């Protein structure tokens, strides 16, 4: 739900305001909390536990700061807890995908370089079977690069990709038994 949508402007907002003004003064903050959680969960319910965790940590930290107002060390500890938790969640959800893709990229480069060295070693020894048909030869390099390009393509088009069909295809390609040709 977006702030400028018809659903928000003519249904959610008026009902939320009505419930807020009908609620007794003691429960107004609770009503706003529930309405906010409903609003933000409207688009993606799977983020609801994350919002609740952040709210609970901040609630505990703010109560700790209020109770230990005379102790600057305790106040700083509670404030640090809140800031570290929220920035940690932000960093996790923002950068985890990037770090995983970077690790896969580095691993791919290492594998490609090692296959290249294996091909060069086979050329040096004039072992043509190893150069062309080995899993660590030219055939393996072509297969590995094809899988990498397919994964990159599917990552770019992940919203429109049929993940069930992709999963079946990858299981068929990677998990079927092959006969040894040599």
Q: What is the pLDDT of residues 55-108, one digit of tens each?
A: 999 999 999 999 999 999 999 999 999 999 999 999 998 888 888 888 888 888
Neighbours of 160 (CB within 10 A): 7
20 vs 87: CA distance, rounded Å? 31
Per-chain mean pLDDT for the chain: 86
Residue found by looking up tokens 């040096």 in the block: 124
> What is the pLDDT, as a whole number, of residue 27?
95
Residue 116 · residue 122 · CB < 8 Å:
no
Give the percent of the chain with pLDDT over 70.
95
Residue 178's pLDDT band, with cuts at 50, 70 and 90, is: low
133 vs 50: CA distance, rounded Å? 50
Residue 8's pLDDT band, with cuts at 50, 70 and 90, is: confident
Give the percent of the chain with pLDDT over 90.
41
pLDDT reading at 109 higher than 60: yes
> What is the pLDDT, as a whole number, of residue 180?
58
Mean pLDDT over 17-27 rounds to 95
Positive or negative CA dihedral for 124, 129, 134, 140? positive
> What is the pLDDT, as a whole number, of residue 149?
81
pLDDT reading at 35 higher than 70: yes
> What is the pLDDT, as a whole number, of residue 79?
96
> What is the pLDDT, as a whole number, of residue 134?
81
> What is the pLDDT, as a whole number, of residue 86?
96
| pTM for this entry | 0.61
């Amino acid at each position: 739900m977006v702030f400028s949508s018809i659903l928000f402007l003519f249904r959610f907002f008026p009902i939320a305001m009505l419930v807020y003004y009908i609620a007794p003064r003691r429960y107004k903050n609770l009503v706003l909390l529930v309405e906010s959680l409903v609003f933000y969960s409207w688009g993606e319910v799977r983020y609801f536990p994350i919002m609740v965790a952040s709210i609970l940590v901040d609630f505990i930290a703010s109560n700790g700061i209020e109770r230990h107002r005379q102790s600057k060390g305790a106040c700083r500890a509670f404030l640090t807890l809140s800031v570290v938790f929220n920035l940690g969640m932000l960093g996790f959800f923002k950068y985890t995908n990037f770090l995983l893709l970077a690790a896969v990229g580095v691993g791919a480069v290492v594998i490609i370089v090692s296959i290249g060295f294996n091909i060069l070693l086979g050329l040096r020894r004039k072992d043509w079977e190893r150069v062309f048909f080995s899993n660590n030869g030219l055939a393996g390099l072509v297969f590995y690069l094809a899988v990498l390009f397919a994964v990159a393509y599917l990552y770019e088009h992940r919203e429109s990709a049929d993940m069930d069909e992709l999963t079946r295809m990858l299981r068929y390609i990677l998990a079927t038994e092959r006969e040894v040709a040599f």
